[in-house]
Structure 1
Amino acid sequence: MDLSSATDELAAAVHSALTDHDGRQPLAGFLATAPRMDTALAAVRVLGCDALAPALVRGTPVAPAEGEAVREALRRLPVDGRHPVELRMVSAAVNDLTSSGPVPSRTVREAHAEWAERVDGGDWRALSLSAAWLAPMAWPATSTLLAPCAARWTREVGRGLTRALLRRDFAFAARLTRWAALARREGGDVGLDLPGAVEYVEWCGAGGPVTALHTAVSRHLLSSREAT
């Protein structure tokens, strides 16, 4: 199994657990049946925080076995200053989810400060692209530093999302709907019917399991906001 197939398989398992609400630990099941552990751990790396989505939705601690699997993925596939700041931010956020120390950690804060200096407040195209990279950490628990920024991005994210929809780039659009949903939770308005945009991406059915997972998370963020 190649990395793309493994990532799709894990994303589909996580998506199923989110939509079925059955309490499963999809990451543990995925790793238990993986034909190649190195490829499976690389898929965990690709999904980032989303590999632990069921715990994030429930607001419960990460299961010990899944936490160890994520830490092993981080150990085998480390990132450093040569990698894009977005990748370092997601990696640090994943590490924080499985850490017993104070969060946000120093690593998260340092990466965020570098990102803010480079990207925040810049051109809407660059900001939208960066936000799409950061989609796996678009959760309330892992975006405490970014959520206030997201409320300021509303116009930029809205423009990026509209452009992606017009270009039928549904994978990109799905990623941006997550930050748009977080911005909405912070009182921001991206200037379009966000639930309708999420439904449209789902209806078009493009992008595969990873895109479906992004829209499922967006739906969760929108519905949890309405419940508060």
Structure 2
Amino acid sequence: MTEQPGTSTRLAGAVQDLAFEVVSALRSGDHVGGVCGGAGIGHDDGLGLAAVRVLGSDVLLPSVLLGRPADDSDLTLFQQAVTVFPPGSDASAVSAWSHWAMTNTLLRLADTTDAVDTADAAGTMDTPDTADAFTRSALSPERAPGERPAGGGTEPATDWLDGAPWQTLGHQLAVLAALAVPGSGSGVARVAARRPLDVARGFVRAVRRRDWLQAAGTGRWLAVVDGVPDTLGLDAGLEFVAQMGAGDARVALHTHVAQALRARAGV
């Protein structure tokens, strides 16, 4: 189906609103209510559900990083997004990994949150086809050579990323910045941990190209891997990216997480 005019713009705006609420929750530490409710996303909001899928596991990041139970409404919408937007047979590896991260986040929160039955949640939402199409597009950037899609309950493959040029590595890691959390243990995190110098090169390249979202995403990865060269000046770089990309809530989200993780580690 052809995407209706304005759908992509409205979805992008919904993603921005949702990211802003996540940043607000992380900064306050005692955010009242859920991030989805703060962004005006309700249970009959197909476009809002698509925004949850685009932002991915970062929707529940306050619970992951602050160790508090997830808001019931956030959890319900999150599980609906997991079910309604699974990666298709032709999905990119990025889409498969984003989906895996969301399901893995639900497992990580299982000890602190009573799970809502995913199958029941799926039946409560009728997602607009245009939002569905745009969401799949947003989660499926151009594939790198040799990239293979993966899905299901198992961890997707990383062979498409292992030998990628550093430029491609930086781009792909930035798209998957939601996986850059302490203790994730994912295959993507292991690839990043093996190539800190290449990730650093990707960060510098993104800054020089004034691609603030990519710079913020690679900067977030640099906050969770070892071996980052001191000469990079990551702290100053993150502050600069945050200032230059201040108009983008997703830039604010990634830079805030990176800065918080470095402060927590006493770097």
Q: TM-score, normalised by structure 1?
A: 0.85
User: Corresponding residue for 1:110?
Assistant: 155
Instruction: Give the unaligned 5+ runs of structure 1.
Output: none
Match among 166, 184, 187 for residue 142 of structure 1: 184
Deviation of the 1:62 alpha carbon: 3.2
Whichever residue aligns with residue 165 of structure 2, its letter is: D
Tell me how far 1:147 sits from its aligned partner.
3.1
CA 1:162–1:78 in 2, change beyond 3 Å: closer, same or farther?
Answer: same
CA deviation after TM superposition for structure 1 residue 181, in Å: 0.7
How far is 1:11 from its partner? 0.8
Query: Once the two structures are superposed, what CA deviation does each residue of 1:61-84 show, in whole Å capped at 9, x if it has no partner?
Result: 434432221110122222133111
Contact 1:86-1:134 at 8 Å conserved across structures: yes
Deviation digits for residues 162-204 of structure 1 (CA, Å, limit 9, x no counterpart): 1111111111100110111111xxx321450111111001122
Alpha carbons 2:36, 2:42 under 8 Å: kept: no
Answer with 73-82 or 40-49: which moved more. Answer: 73-82
Shift of 1:141: 4.3
| Alpha-carbon distance in 2 for matches of 1:80, 1:68 | 22
Corresponding residue number in structure 1 for 2:227? 188
Change (3 A) 1:219 1:25: farther
**For the residues of structure 2 that align with 1:25 and 1:146, how far apart are their CA atoms?**
32
- Given the superposition, is the C-alpha separation of residues 195 and 25 from structure 1 closer, same or farther in structure 2, using an over 3 Å criterion? farther
Query: RMSD of the alignment, in Å?
Result: 2.5
Identity of aligned residues (%): 31
CA contact (8 A) 2:25 2:35 kept: no
Deviation of 1:34 after TM superposition, in Å, equals 4.7
Q: Secondary structure at the match of 1:219?
A: helix
Q: Is the 8 A contact 2:197 2:227 kept in 1?
A: no
Q: Distance in 2 between matches of 1:10 and 1:160?
A: 27
Q: Name the CA distance, whole Å, in 2 between partners of 1:35 and 1:134.
A: 26
Question: What is the aligned counterpart of 1:178 among 220, 223, 227?
Answer: 220
Q: Is the 8 A contact 1:17 1:54 kept in 2?
A: yes
How far did residue 4 of structure 1 move? 0.8
What is the SS of the residue equivalent to 1:119? helix
CA contact (8 A) 2:18 2:35 kept: yes
Asked if 2 retains the 8 angstrom alpha-carbon contact of 1:170 and 1:206, the reply is no
2:21 pairs, out of 13, 37, 40, with: 13
**What TM-score results when the alignment is normalised by the length of structure 2?**
0.73
2:257 — aligned with what?
Answer: 217
